[in-house]
Structures are given as C-alpha cells and as structure tokens.
C-alpha cells in the first residue's frame, strides 16, 4: 500500500529549470556521467531532484535509453522489472484523486522507492559501451561488404505487394540473419550465444538501416514504408506499424511462437519499452532493445527472469527520503505542504502535536550545493554562467 510521507515537497511547475533551479538539459547528461562513474550519492540526489521537478516522462525515457545503451547485456532480464515498475507508477497515478495528483506523486513513498530501486540496479550492474559508429559513406558497396554476413539479398515484400528499397531490404535482412542461425543449446552457455561481439554487429546494422532510411526518404520513387501486422502487436499505434523496425518485431514474435525455450514475458517487456512514448527518432537510442530481442527470440536456452537485490539497493531504498529532504528550499514549503498533507490524510489542522512533528522533520539543511559546481542555475546572471561554463565543459570531457 502506498503512503504519502509526513514531510516532503510542495509541487511547483518546472519547465526549463528544475525544482532547485538547475538547467533541465544539463541534469540528464550529468546523471548519465555519474551512473557510468558509479557515483552513488550523486546519482540518488539527481534522481530526487528530477522526481521533485515532475519530469516523469523524461526520467522514464532516460531509464530506457540508458538501459538500451549500456546495460541490456549485463542484465538482460532487467527490462522485465523496468516494465513492471512503469506499470506500478501508472497504477499509483490512477489510484490518487486528480485534484491531489501533483503533490501526491512527488511525495509518494512507493514511487520514490521504485526510482531508487531502478537506479540502484544501474549502479550495481557492469556497464558496456558498444561502438556502433558508422562510416561517413557506409552506404557504399565497399563498406557494406566489410560488415555484411550475406552474399545475396532478397527484397522484402508485404501482403499488398509493396516492397522496401534494395538498401533497406539489405539492412533488415542483415538484422534478421542472426535470427536464423542454428545453435546447439546443449553445448554452451547463454553468454556464449548472446555476447558483446554479436550484439555490436546487429546494432551496427540497426543504426545503418536508420541512416539509410533518412537518406532514401529524400528520394522519389523509393519505398521506405510497408505494412506488417502480427496479431500479438495490435496495441502498437497504426502510425508505427509501417516502419521497417516493426517488421523486425513482427518476425521476433513469429519466432517466439515456434521457440519452446523463449520467455515471452521478457520479449513483451522489450517490446513495451521500445514503444514507450515512441517516436521514430528514438530507433538508434533503443537499438539495444531490438538487438537483444532478436537473440532472445532465437535462444536455444531458457532465459530465466531472476531478481537479485543487493545490500546497496536495500540501503538506498530505506534512505531514499533523505535525499528528498535536501531539496526543501522554498521558504513557504512547510506551510503549503502541511496544509496539503492534512487534507490528503483527513487530519484536522487543530492537531498541534502532529503539526509540530511535521515542522520538526521539515527543518533540514540543504545539502545539494555540490551540484552547483557543474549545473548553473537558470536564473543566475550571465557572468556567473560564463564563470561556471568552463567547469561544466571540463567535467563532461573527462
């Protein structure tokens, strides 16, 4: 059961600057850098700042992007728990009256623990940096042959006899090549099949296909869209059902029906995360989800969904509220929050003992000043921003 804590943050609308006045477009790169460097305390403080700023969709998009870029190989089943946590947050939102949405979601103990748990797992898991940089003229024959696994490409045609262009057909065929390889599941370990080298190859072709599509959209009489419709994917918006990436998901699910070892719940989570708040500009940043799904759908070994909770995750979840206390900087926050908290919990304002307790818990010294070294406040003067700009560029270049 979710509860609102008896001390917390009073909602204020945040746009280009966060709750504490940090630049929105600076915070997420800073969070990514600290996750890679495994700076536990900084990560938890930044997540608390983003949550208090009500950047829910941005946080979830970042979680998907980070997992798809760095950690889908080190923990291939974490996608299932990310998907489940997103669903929990939606359930909490539906359970709270709309009139109390803004404040209740920020101060929801359950949502705080969910975010804390997911980022704790990111900090616990190893990070893999895939090098999938394309050559400037990757669409030329010499570069295609350098990376190709196939000598002959058959054009892709849909049920209406519409076909993809030759280059897009090649890209899709190269991606699906890995789905048709036969592996002996009795002779190896899962990591010998789903490994760094194989994933890097398939991610190269996903990025290559996305780039070729952008180029060919500028040409006339070249088909880049076609219809593909598998029954299990009817929940995908029609606007996204005509892209080449949907054709690959179609083939993945068809493979799932034939593979007795495949974990369909895991594939479903990959699909949900890939199409979460989706636009076709997100193909490259979510290439990891598509790549791992191709391999898992063809896996000769059963992929078990296991949840291991580390000591750090337990400690961080138990102490999550400490980071939120440090964001309480508004002079009238306590009065506004107290009134809202009493209303939410049906507490009479004349209950002085409860009020004194809440005031006592809210008087916390601000400890988030360390972020200011790299994140200048939006309302700072130009001289201060210029003075700090060198620190920002130096930090991100490390």
pLDDT by position in tens, the chain (length 398): 455 555 578 888 898 988 888 889 889 999 999 999 999 888 998 999 999 999 999 999 999 999 999 988 888 899 999 999 999 999 999 988 888 888 888 888 889 999 999 999 999 999 988 877 888 888 888 888 888 888 778 877 766 667 788 888 899 999 988 887 766 554 455 666 678 888 888 999 999 999 988 888 776 555 555 666 555 677 788 788 888 898 899 889 888 888 887 888 999 999 999 999 999 899 999 999 999 999 888 877 777 888 888 888 888 888 777 788 777 655 555 555 556 555 655 555 455 455 544 444 444 334 444 445 445 444 444 344 444 443 333 333 33
- CB-based burial label for 90 (10 Å; 0-12, 13-18, 19+): exposed
If you search the block for the tokens 């818990």, which residue do you land on? Answer: 361
Give the position of tokens 């990070």.
127
How many angstroms separate the CA atoms of 294 and 179, rounded?
6
pLDDT (0 to 100) of residue 358? 44
Give the residues across from 163 on adjacent strands. Answer: 157
Determine the Cα–Cα distance for residues 60 and 54; give it in Å rounded to an integer.
11
Element holding 300 (H helix, E strand): none
Residue 344, pLDDT score: 57
389 exposed, middle or buried (CB, 10 Å; 0-12, 13-18, 19+)?
Answer: exposed
pLDDT of residue 144: 86
Q: Give the burial class of 138: count Cβ atoms within 10 A of its Cβ; 0-12 exposed, 13-18 middle, 19 or more buried.
A: middle
- Assess contact for 158 and 228: CB atoms under 8 A: yes
Cα separations in angstroms, 194 against 72, 136, 185, 303, 340: 11, 29, 12, 11, 51
340 and 140 in contact (C-beta within 8 Å)? no
Q: Is 231 helix (H, G, I), strand (E, B) or coil?
A: helix
- Contact between 26 and 35 under an 8 Å Cβ cutoff? The reply is no
Counting Cβ atoms within 10 Å, is residue 79 exposed (0-12), middle (13-18) or buried (19+)?
A: buried
Ramachandran angles phi, psi of 283, nearest 5°: -60, -45
Look at residue 17 and give its three-state secondary structure.
strand
- The two tokens of residue 313 are 């995750």
Give the Cα separation of 84 and 88 in Å (integer): 6
Longest dimension (CA), the chain: 80
Work out whether the CA dihedral 374, 378, 379, 380 comes out positive or negative.
positive
Per-residue confidence (pLDDT) for residue 283, from 0 to 100 = 92
Task: For residues 175 and 178, give the distance between their C-alpha atoms in angstroms, rounded to a whole number.
Answer: 6
Q: Is the dihedral of CA 198, 200, 206, 209 positive or negative?
A: negative
| 8 A C-beta contact, residue 294 and residue 255 | no
Distance of CA 29 to the CA centre of its chain: 14
- 150: Cβ contacts below 8 Å, ≥ 6 apart: 170, 173, 174, 177
As given in the structure block, the two tokens for residue 55 are 């950047």
Locate 144 and state its tokens: 């295609």
Residue that has been written with the tokens 């989570």 in this structure: 269
DSSP 380: S
> Which pLDDT belongs to residue 364?
38
Neighbours of 386 (CB within 10 A): 11
Structure-token pair, residue 265: 């719940």
Residues 6 or more apart from 316 whose CB is under 8 A from it?
A: 40, 44, 116, 117, 120
CB 76 within 8 A of CB 296: yes
């Amino acid at each position: 059961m979710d509860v609102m804590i008896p001390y917390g943050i009073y909602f204020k609308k945040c746009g280009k600057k966060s709750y504490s006045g940090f630049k929105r477009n600076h915070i997420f790169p800073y969070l990514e850098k600290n996750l890679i460097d495994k700076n536990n305390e900084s990560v938890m403080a930044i997540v608390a700042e983003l949550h208090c700023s009500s950047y829910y969709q941005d946080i979830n998009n970042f979680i998907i992007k980070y997992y798809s870029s760095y950690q889908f190989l080190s923990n291939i089943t974490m996608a299932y728990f990310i998907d489940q946590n997103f669903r929990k947050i939606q359930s909490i939102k539906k359970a709270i009256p709309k009139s109390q949405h803004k404040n209740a979601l920020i101060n929801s103990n359950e949502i705080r623990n969910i975010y804390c748990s997911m980022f704790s797992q990111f900090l616990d898991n190893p990070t893999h940096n895939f090098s999938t940089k394309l050559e400037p003229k990757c669409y030329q024959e010499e570069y295609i042959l350098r990376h190709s696994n196939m000598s002959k490409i058959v054009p892709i045609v849909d049920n209406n006899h519409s076909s993809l262009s030759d280059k897009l057909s090649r890209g899709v065929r190269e991606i699906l090549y890995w789905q048709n390889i036969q592996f002996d599941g009795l002779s190896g370990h899962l990591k010998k099949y789903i490994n760094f080298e194989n994933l890097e190859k398939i991610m190269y072709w996903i990025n290559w296909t996305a780039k070729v599509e952008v180029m060919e959209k500028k040409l006339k009489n070249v088909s880049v869209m076609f219809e593909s419709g598998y029954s299990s994917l009817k929940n995908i918006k029609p606007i996204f059902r005509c892209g080449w990436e949907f054709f690959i998901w179609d083939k993945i699910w068809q493979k799932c029906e034939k593979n007795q070892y495949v974990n369909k719940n895991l594939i479903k989570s990959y699909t949900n995360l890939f199409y979460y708040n989706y636009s076709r500009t997100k193909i490259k940043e979510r290439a990891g989800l598509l790549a791992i799904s191709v391999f898992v759908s063809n896996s000769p070994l059963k992929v078990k969904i296991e949840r291991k909770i580390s000591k750090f995750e337990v400690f961080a979840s138990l102490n999550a509220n400490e980071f939120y206390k440090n964001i309480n900087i508004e002079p009238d926050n306590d009065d506004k929050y107290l009134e809202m908290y009493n209303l939410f919990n049906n507490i009479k304002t004349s209950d002085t003992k409860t009020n004194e307790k809440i005031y006592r818990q809210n008087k916390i010294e601000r400890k988030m000043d360390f972020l200011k070294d790299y994140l200048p406040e939006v309302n700072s003067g130009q001289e201060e921003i210029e003075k700090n700009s060198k620190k920002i560029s130096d930090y991100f270049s490390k």
